[in-house]
Amino acid sequence: MTTTQERLSAEPASPAAPPAAEATATRPRRSPLHAVRRLLPAVPILAALAVWQLLTSYDVVAWVRFDKIPGPGEVGAAMTAQLESAVFYQHVVSSLGRILSGFALAGLAGVLTGIAVGRSKIAAALVRPLIEVARPIPAIALVPIAILLFPTSEQGIVFITFFAAFFPVTVATIHAMKALPPVWTDAARTLGASRFQILLHVVVPGAMPSIFSGLSVSMGVAWICVISAEMISGQFGVGYWTWMSYSLLDYAGVVTGMLTIGVLGFTTSWAIERVGRRVNRWLPGEGA
Amino acid sequence: MSTATETGAKVELREVRIDYADGPAADLDLTVAPGEVVMLLGPSGCGKSTILRALAGLQPIAAGAASVDGEPHDQSHKCAMVFQEDALLPWRTARRNVEFALAMRGVPRPQRRALAVDLLGQVGLTDFAEHLPRRLSGGMRQRVQLARTLAARPRVLLMDEPFGALDAQTRLEMQRLLVSVWRRHRTTIMFVTHDVDEALLLADRVVVLSPRPARVVRVVDVDCPREPDAQLEPTFARQRQEILALLGHDLTKP
Ligand SMILES: Nc1ncnc2c1ncn2[C@@H]1O[C@H](COP(=O)(O)OP(=O)(O)OP(=O)(O)O)[C@@H](O)[C@H]1O
Ligand SMILES: [Mg+2]
């Protein structure tokens, strides 16, 4: 009680003081540990930034060479410049368009294939061997074939993304079909549900937790493939842009591209996580 | 028993045999009158669940004939089952679980809600209609299951140790609830239990089964079924001893 009040009254009094120092100063008994723990995640990031700054500003060359690597300041400036340029957004939009179309197609096809294979012995016999043969091929190895197959590199990239993202969802869905408690289906059957109604009302909702974990894996590999495919054969996109910056010796641009990819990857994963939480909010671990 | 014929169906099992890959699991001959409450008792693994599953259409019958109201048992969904496990769909609230059964029965959407709420009221869960199963206790979940099963308007209610996982107090409440629900709907009930007292308290007849494959060893008629003070009667104690002896005897057999 008192510590909160002290802190509240202390805050406007010393606006310039960093929050960490303030918290430790006004909550003497319990808070030092508490505040430290809250700030803990920032420590490694700040440390990494500091190391980066030191290595690049002194142009350290010790087996690995930091003399051509841009420092945080340079990257920050490059990033600010890019965020104000319309072309940069075109690259982002173009990558996002590819990944979302490839991923959406893969999600749909993967769930449908997974349900068919998991529920029907005939479908399993017909499709499973193909899946097992194609799955170990890294999608990126399909680049030459994709260039030959598709009229535009755009379609080729979407195809590669699709190929990469297809397997994690499919396999997760197949497993979900096997893991469903039989009593759910039994109960629905005794209540008069048809095969299709069981599929719609029992199997699909019950499989959603696994499907969503498959989807988030898919999203990860989809990014890897989009970026690599863009680096190899794109005419637009963040991957292409990053590689172009490298070719033009714009190393700050390279790091800007990397960070952009990181942010985009994080945002899409977060979106899937959010939707998954919403769909599966009945799971024991979820709130409300 | 005269009102019973209106809703409960007659169940006839004529030398019904049910097999698993490793041999027969049940082989029995039994007739259950419309609206009768029959309790099935037998050693663990003897094939009680198998019998109910066959009647529910979840398990094929290898030989013999099972009929409900004179029709082959799998022609219609006259038998609905309350499972021992938690069989509710966890992503649906209590009310929506009941509505699911109504939808499967073909009740038009606008009528489902009121019917579901009414059924939940019958099992004393009016206040919990909007709860997800994980926020309900084990006893409450079984009550929702009962309501959901009743929503299918079964003529035969199959109950597979529905109260087996509950504590003694809750179990007693559930037994009372079942009797009140049965008085209202008068369905035929085939009820599997491990508990001899439960069997004698709820049954018109108690059917004692042999170890696998389940055969009828003895049918015990209860004189005054579901009397509040039945446990104090000397016949209760005698029949209890008799059944326990039958089960004990069978259990010690090699
Ligand atoms: N799906 C199955 N496949 C093969 N055998 C099975 C299967 N289900 C049950 N059994 C076997 O059939 C026998 C009867 O099983 P059942 O579940 O009907 O017993 P139960 O009388 O209900 O037992 P409990 O009182 O423990 O519930 C057991 O020996 C069991 O091992
Ligand atoms: Mg059983």
Domain boundaries, chain B: 1-78+156-254, 84-153
Q: Give burial (CB, 10 Å; 0-12/13-18/19+) of B232.
A: exposed
Residue B233: what pLDDT? 82
Q: What is the pTM of this model?
A: 0.82
Q: Give burial (CB, 10 Å; 0-12/13-18/19+) of B101.
A: buried
Mean pLDDT of A77-88: 91
Q: Do B134 and A188 touch (CB under 8 A)?
A: no
* Residue A39 confidence class, pLDDT cut points 50, 70, 90: confident
How close is the Cα of B253 to the center of ligand 2, in Å?
Answer: 20
| Preceding peptide of B213 cis, ω within 30° | yes
Mean pLDDT of A139-158: 90
CA of B214, closest atom in ligand 1: 21
Calpha distance A82→A93 (Å, rounded): 14
Min CA distance, A282 vs chain B (Å)? 5
Residue A29: what pLDDT? 60
Neighbours of A39 (CB within 10 A): 14
Of A181, A190, A284, which has the smallest distance from its Cβ to B80's Cβ? Answer: A190
Domain boundaries, chain A: 72-279
* Residue B187 confidence class, pLDDT cut points 50, 70, 90: very high
Mean pLDDT of B64-71: 86
Calpha distance A49→A60 (Å, rounded): 15
Report whether residue B46 contacts ligand 1, using a CB cutoff of 6 Å.
yes
Q: What is the 3-state secondary structure (H, E, C) of B144-188?
A: HHHHHHHHCCCCEEEEECCCCCCCHHHHHHHHHHHHHHHHHHCCE
Q: Which of A268, A248, A212, A218 is nearest to A92 (CA)?
A: A268
**What average pLDDT does the structure give for chain A?**
87
Q: Facing residues of B16 across strands? A: B28
Structure tokens that stand for B37 in this block:
């409450």
All residues with CB under 5 Å from ion ligand 2: B 49
Whether A115 and A204 have beta carbons less than 8 Å apart is answered as yes
How close is the Cα of B46 to the center of ligand 1, in Å?
Answer: 7
**Best of B16, B19, B20 to mutate for ligand 1, by most ligand atoms within 8 A of CB?**
B20
Cα distances (Å, whole numbers) of residue A243 to A220, A235, A255, A258: 20, 11, 10, 10
- Express as a percent the part of chain B with pLDDT over 90: 52
- Express as a percent the part of chain A with pLDDT over 90: 70
Residue A15: what pLDDT? 40
ipTM: 0.88
Mean pLDDT of A132-137: 92
Note the residue count of chain A.
288
Angle (CA) B60 B46 B154, round 5° = 50
Q: Phi-psi bin for A28: left (phi > 0), alpha (psi -120 to 50), beta?
A: alpha
> Does residue B250 or residue A100 have the better pLDDT?
A100
Lowest-pLDDT range of A6-20, A94-108, A190-204, B77-91: A6-20
Calpha distance B31→B67 (Å, rounded): 10
Q: Which of A250, A243, A220 is nearest to A106 (CA)?
A: A220
pLDDT above 90 (res A107) = yes
Calpha distance B41→B196 (Å, rounded): 7
**Which protein residue's CA is at the shortest distance from atom 20 of ligand 1?**
B45
Calpha distance B122→B42 (Å, rounded): 31
Min CA distance, B96 vs chain A (Å)? 11
Calpha distance A213→A249 (Å, rounded): 39
Q: Do B148 and A181 touch (CB under 8 A)?
A: no
Residues of B in contact with A191 (CB under 8 A): 77, 80, 100-101, 104-105, 148-149, 151-152
Calpha distance A188→A72 (Å, rounded): 60
Calpha distance A135→B32 (Å, rounded): 56
Calpha distance B50→B23 (Å, rounded): 13
Question: 3-state DSSP call for residue A254?
Answer: helix
* Residue A96 confidence class, pLDDT cut points 50, 70, 90: very high
Mean pLDDT of A255-261: 94
In a 13 Å sphere around the CA of A259, the CA atoms on its Cβ side amount to 14
Amino acid letter, B103: A
CB pairs under 8 A between A and B: 61
204-243 in chain A: CB under 8 A from chain B? 205-206
How close is the Cα of A225 to the center of ligand 1, in Å?
Answer: 50
DSSP H helical ranges for chain B? 48-55, 94-105, 109-122, 138-151, 168-185, 196-202, 234-252
Mean pLDDT of B136-155: 92
Interface residue of A183, A184, A185, A191 to substitute, partner B, most B CBs within 10 Å:
A191
Ranked by mean pLDDT, the top range of A18-32, B3-17, B157-171, B226-240 is B157-171
Q: Which of B190, B206, B188 is nearest to B244 (CA)?
A: B206
Question: 3-state DSSP call for residue B31?
Answer: strand
Span A72-279 CATH architecture: Orthogonal Bundle (1.10)
Residues of A in contact with B85 (CB under 8 A): 181, 183
Q: What kind and span of H or E run contains B209?
A: strand B205-209
Q: Does domain B1-78+156-254 have CATH number 3.40.50.300?
A: yes
Lowest-pLDDT range of B17-31, B187-201, B215-229: B215-229
Q: Give burial (CB, 10 Å; 0-12/13-18/19+) of A95.
A: buried
Of A181, A183, A191, which has the smallest distance from its Cβ to B101's Cβ? Answer: A191
